[in-house]
Amino acid sequence: MLLLQQPAYPVQYLIQTQLNVPVRSIQFDPHDIRSSRPGVEARWVVKYRNTADVSKAIQSGLLVDTDRLVFYQHNDVTTRETAAYRNYMEVVNAHAVIAASADNVVRGKLKRAVSSGRCHSRRLRYYEAN
């Protein structure tokens, strides 16, 4: 039994019985669908009544069968995901710049090769004519 595949009520029940903290709301976040990447684990967004309950959940975690699940602050997760996305976009942009500069270098070499070939062919015609 994986926590991420359970309906909201059993998840809420596990949190309330194991941690002994009330849950204000719980919402499933299908991260694998939003990111369009299969294999990315989905998650639950749990709202507690106060910061003491949040701290208790973060410190204790949740035991499901033999798996210990960890709670994180939503702001921390969002910050990490935003930083990861920005890093990814920097890499994509850097690859685009490298590819564009490589294309320009190749174009420049081709242009020089073609123009030098024209010069050689003109010289050949000159020498052949004389």
- pLDDT tens by residue, 30-86: 877 777 777 777 788 899 999 999 999 999 888 888 888 888 888 888 898 899 889
> Which range of residues forms the domain containing residue 78?
73-130
pTM here?
0.57
Whether residue 53 is found in the same domain as residue 85:
no
Higher pLDDT, 112 or 1: 112
Concatenate the DSSP letters of all residues of 27-86 into one string.
EEE-HHHHTT-TT---EEEEEESSHHHHHHHHHH-EEETTEEE----HHHHHHHHHHHHH
Is pLDDT at 11 greater than 80 in this prediction? Answer: yes
Please give the tally of structural domains in the chain.
2
Whether residue 66 is found in the same domain as residue 84:
no
